[in-house]
Structure 1
Amino acid sequence: MSAFDCLAEIPDVLRAALERADDGVVIVDDAHRITHFNAAAERIWKLARTDVLGRDAAILGLKGFQPDPVTDFRDEVSLVRRDGSRIRAAIALSSVKIGGADHYIVFARDVTGEAERRVTIGLLHAVSDQTNRAVIITDIEQNIVYVNSAFTTLFGYTSGEAEGRRAGELIAGRHTDRKAIAKLIRRLRRGGRRGEAEVLAYDKDGEEIWVCARIDAFRDKKGRVKHIFALIEDITETKQLRSLQQLVMSSLADEVPITDIADRLCRRVEEIAPDVVCSLLHVDAAGLVHPLGGPSLPADYSRALDGIAIGPNVGSCGTAAFYGKPVLAEDIDTDPRWQPYKAMPLAIGLRACWSTPIKAKDGRVIATFAFYFRERRAPSKWHRRIVDACVNLGAFAIERKEARAEIARLAYHDILTGLPNRAQLRNLITTAIDACPHGSHVALAFLDVDHFKDVNDTLGHAAGDELLIQLAQRLREQIGPEDMLGRLGGDEFVILLPQRDAEAADRLASGITEALAAPLRIGSKLMPMSVSIGISLYPDHATDIDTLMQQADAAMYMAKQAGRSTHRIFSAEMNGLTEQRLAVIAALRRAIAEGALTLSYQPQIRSCDGAIHGVEALARWRDAVLGDVSPAKFIPLAEECGLIEQIGLWSVREACRQMASWRRAGLDIPSVSVNLSPINFRHVALAARLKDILAEYDLPADALMLEITEGTFMQDGAAALETMHAIRALGVGLSVDDFGTGYSSLSRLAHLPIRELKIDRSFMRDIERDAGAVAIATAVVGVGQGLGMTVVAEGVETEGQRKVLADLGCDVVQGFLYAPALPPVAFERWLIEHCAEQARAMLARLDVAAVGCDAVKRSA
Structure 2
Amino acid sequence: MSASDCPTTEMPDVLRAALARAEDGVVIVDDAHRITHFNPAAERIWKLAATEVLGRNAAVLTLKCLEAGATAEFREEISLVRRDGSRIKALVSMSSTTIGGATHRIVFARDVTLDADRRVRIALLHAVADQTNRAVIITDVGQNIVYVNSAFTALFGYTSEEAVGRSADGLVAGRHTDRKALANLVRRLMRGGHRGEAELLVYDKDGEEIWVSARIDTFRDSKGRVKHIFALLEDITETKQLRSLQQLIMSALADEVPIGEIADRLCRRVEEIAPDVVCSLLHVDAAGLIHPLGGPSLPEDYSRALDGIAIGPNVGSCGTAAFYGTPVLATDLDTDPRWQPYKAMPLAIGLRACWSTPVKAKDGRVIATFAFYYREPRAPSNWHRRIVEACVNLGAFAIERKEARAEIARLAYHDILTGLPNRAQLRHLITTAIDACPTSSHVALAFLDVDHFKDVNDTLGHAAGDELLVQLAQRLREHIGPGDMLGRLGGDEFVILLPQRNVESAERVAADIAEALARPLRLGSKLMPMSASIGISLYPDHATDIDTLMQQADAAMYMAKQAGRSTHRIFSAEMNVLAEQRLALIAALRRAIAEGALSLSYQPQIRSCDGAIHGVEALARWRDAVLGDVSPAKFIPLAEECGLIEQIGLWSVREACRQIASWRHAGLNIPCVSVNLSPINFRNVALAARLKDILAEYDLPPDALMLEITEGAFMQDGVAALETMNAIRELGVGLSVDDFGTGYSSLSRLAHLPIRELKIDRSFMRDIEKDPGALAIATAVVRVGQGLGMTVVAEGVETEGQRRTLAELGCDIVQGFLYSPALPPVAFERWLIDHCAEQASAMLRRLDITPAGEDAVKRSA
- Secondary structure, aligned partner of 1:25: strand
The Cα of 1:77 is off from its aligned counterpart by 1.3
Match of 1:740 in 2: none
Paired residues of 2:65 and 2:74 also in contact (CA < 8 A): no
**Partner letter of residue 523 of structure 1?**
G
Match of 2:852 in 1: none
Paired residues of 2:586 and 2:638 also in contact (CA < 8 A): no
Paired residues of 2:58 and 2:66 also in contact (CA < 8 A): no
Paired residues of 2:65 and 2:71 also in contact (CA < 8 A): no
The Cα of 1:826 is off from its aligned counterpart by 5.4
**Matches for 1:406-805 after TM superposition, within 5 Å:** 406-577=407-578, 578-594=580-596, 624=632, 625-627=634-636, 629=638, 633-634=642-643
Range moving further from structure 2, 460-469 or 84-93: 460-469
Paired residues of 1:69 and 1:95 also in contact (CA < 8 A): no
Paired residues of 1:321 and 1:368 also in contact (CA < 8 A): yes
Paired residues of 1:68 and 1:95 also in contact (CA < 8 A): no
CA distance in structure 1 between the aligned counterparts of 2:539 and 2:22, rounded to whole angstroms: 123
Range moving further from structure 2, 119-128 or 252-261: 119-128
- Secondary structure, aligned partner of 1:568: strand
Paired residues of 2:189 and 2:195 also in contact (CA < 8 A): yes
The Cα of 1:69 is off from its aligned counterpart by 11
Match of 1:355 in 2: 356
Range moving further from structure 2, 537-546 or 509-518: 537-546
CA distance in structure 2 between the aligned counterparts of 1:18 and 1:563, rounded to whole angstroms: 138
CA distance in structure 2 between the aligned counterparts of 1:53 and 1:459, rounded to whole angstroms: 126
Match of 1:337 in 2: 338
Q: Identity over the aligned pairs, expressed in percent? A: 77
CA distance in structure 1 between the aligned counterparts of 2:262 and 2:140, rounded to whole angstroms: 46
Q: 1:313 to 1:289 in 2, by over 3 A?
A: same
The Cα of 1:550 is off from its aligned counterpart by 1.2
Q: 1:7 to 1:317 in 2, by over 3 A?
A: same
CA distance in structure 1 between the aligned counterparts of 2:95 and 2:355, rounded to whole angstroms: 75
**Partner letter of residue 142 of structure 1?**
Q
- Secondary structure, aligned partner of 1:627: helix
- Secondary structure, aligned partner of 2:581: helix
Q: CA RMSD in A?
A: 3.1
**Partner letter of residue 635 of structure 2?**
L
**Matches for 1:182-197 after TM superposition, within 5 Å:** 182-197=183-198
CA distance in structure 2 between the aligned counterparts of 1:90 and 1:438, rounded to whole angstroms: 114
Paired residues of 1:201 and 1:210 also in contact (CA < 8 A): yes
TM-score (norm 1): 0.70
- Secondary structure, aligned partner of 1:92: strand
Paired residues of 2:446 and 2:553 also in contact (CA < 8 A): yes
CA distance in structure 2 between the aligned counterparts of 1:69 and 1:444, rounded to whole angstroms: 121
Matched, 1:244 2:245: yes
1:182-230 deviation per Cα after TM superposition (whole angstroms, max 9, x unaligned): 2222222222222222211211111111122222222222222212222
**Partner letter of residue 217 of structure 1?**
T
**Partner letter of residue 581 of structure 2?**
E
CA distance in structure 2 between the aligned counterparts of 1:46 and 1:817, rounded to whole angstroms: 105
Paired residues of 2:27 and 2:42 also in contact (CA < 8 A): yes
- Secondary structure, aligned partner of 1:626: helix
CA distance in structure 1 between the aligned counterparts of 2:597 and 2:341, rounded to whole angstroms: 78
Q: 1:67 to 1:149 in 2, by over 3 A?
A: farther
Structure 2: give runs of 5+ residues left out of the alignment: 600-621, 623-629, 648-684, 694-714, 733-861
CA distance in structure 2 between the aligned counterparts of 1:394 and 1:584, rounded to whole angstroms: 54
The Cα of 1:437 is off from its aligned counterpart by 2.8
CA distance in structure 2 between the aligned counterparts of 1:417 and 1:334, rounded to whole angstroms: 51
The Cα of 1:168 is off from its aligned counterpart by 1.6
TM-score (norm 2): 0.70
Structure 1: give runs of 5+ residues left out of the alignment: 598-620, 639-657, 667-796, 799-814, 831-860
CA distance in structure 1 between the aligned counterparts of 2:123 and 2:447, rounded to whole angstroms: 92
- Secondary structure, aligned partner of 1:340: coil
Q: 1:168 to 1:49 in 2, by over 3 A?
A: same
**Partner letter of residue 134 of structure 1?**
A
- The alignment of Structure 1 onto Structure 2 pairs a total of residues equal to 638
CA distance in structure 2 between the aligned counterparts of 1:369 and 1:623, rounded to whole angstroms: 70
CA distance in structure 1 between the aligned counterparts of 2:325 and 2:167, rounded to whole angstroms: 46
Paired residues of 1:67 and 1:73 also in contact (CA < 8 A): no
Paired residues of 1:330 and 1:352 also in contact (CA < 8 A): yes
Match of 1:721 in 2: none
The Cα of 1:177 is off from its aligned counterpart by 1.7
- Secondary structure, aligned partner of 2:66: coil
The Cα of 1:828 is off from its aligned counterpart by 11
Match of 1:380 in 2: 381
The Cα of 1:823 is off from its aligned counterpart by 10
1:578-636 deviation per Cα after TM superposition (whole angstroms, max 9, x unaligned): 12221111212332344989xxxxxxxxxxxxxxxxxxxxxxx999552155776459x
Q: 1:827 to 1:397 in 2, by over 3 A?
A: farther
The Cα of 1:827 is off from its aligned counterpart by 12
Match of 1:223 in 2: 224
CA distance in structure 2 between the aligned counterparts of 1:430 and 1:205, rounded to whole angstroms: 66
Q: 1:78 to 1:366 in 2, by over 3 A?
A: same
Paired residues of 2:535 and 2:560 also in contact (CA < 8 A): yes
Q: 1:178 to 1:80 in 2, by over 3 A?
A: same
Q: 1:182 to 1:343 in 2, by over 3 A?
A: same
Paired residues of 1:67 and 1:93 also in contact (CA < 8 A): no
1:122-143 deviation per Cα after TM superposition (whole angstroms, max 9, x unaligned): 2222222222222222222222
Match of 1:98 in 2: 99
Match of 1:600 in 2: none
The Cα of 1:111 is off from its aligned counterpart by 0.7
Match of 1:120 in 2: 121
Paired residues of 1:67 and 1:94 also in contact (CA < 8 A): no
CA distance in structure 2 between the aligned counterparts of 1:70 and 1:58, rounded to whole angstroms: 16
CA distance in structure 2 between the aligned counterparts of 1:218 and 1:309, rounded to whole angstroms: 63
Match of 2:606 in 1: none
CA distance in structure 1 between the aligned counterparts of 2:76 and 2:328, rounded to whole angstroms: 68
CA distance in structure 1 between the aligned counterparts of 2:64 and 2:504, rounded to whole angstroms: 134
**Matches for 1:292-371 after TM superposition, within 5 Å:** 292-371=293-372
Paired residues of 1:57 and 1:63 also in contact (CA < 8 A): no
**Partner letter of residue 589 of structure 2?**
A
Q: 1:339 to 1:632 in 2, by over 3 A?
A: farther
- Secondary structure, aligned partner of 2:45: helix
1:387-407 deviation per Cα after TM superposition (whole angstroms, max 9, x unaligned): 111111111111122121122
The Cα of 1:29 is off from its aligned counterpart by 2.0
CA distance in structure 2 between the aligned counterparts of 1:256 and 1:242, rounded to whole angstroms: 19
The Cα of 1:174 is off from its aligned counterpart by 0.9
The Cα of 1:442 is off from its aligned counterpart by 2.1
The Cα of 1:102 is off from its aligned counterpart by 2.1
CA distance in structure 2 between the aligned counterparts of 1:90 and 1:113, rounded to whole angstroms: 12
Match of 2:14 in 1: 13
CA distance in structure 2 between the aligned counterparts of 1:821 and 1:5, rounded to whole angstroms: 124
Match of 2:78 in 1: 77
Match of 2:39 in 1: 38
CA distance in structure 1 between the aligned counterparts of 2:148 and 2:449, rounded to whole angstroms: 84
Paired residues of 1:320 and 1:368 also in contact (CA < 8 A): yes
1:519-554 deviation per Cα after TM superposition (whole angstroms, max 9, x unaligned): 011122111110001111222222222222111111
Structure whose alpha-carbon radius of gyration is higher: 2
**Partner letter of residue 551 of structure 2?**
Q
The Cα of 1:434 is off from its aligned counterpart by 2.8
The Cα of 1:99 is off from its aligned counterpart by 2.3
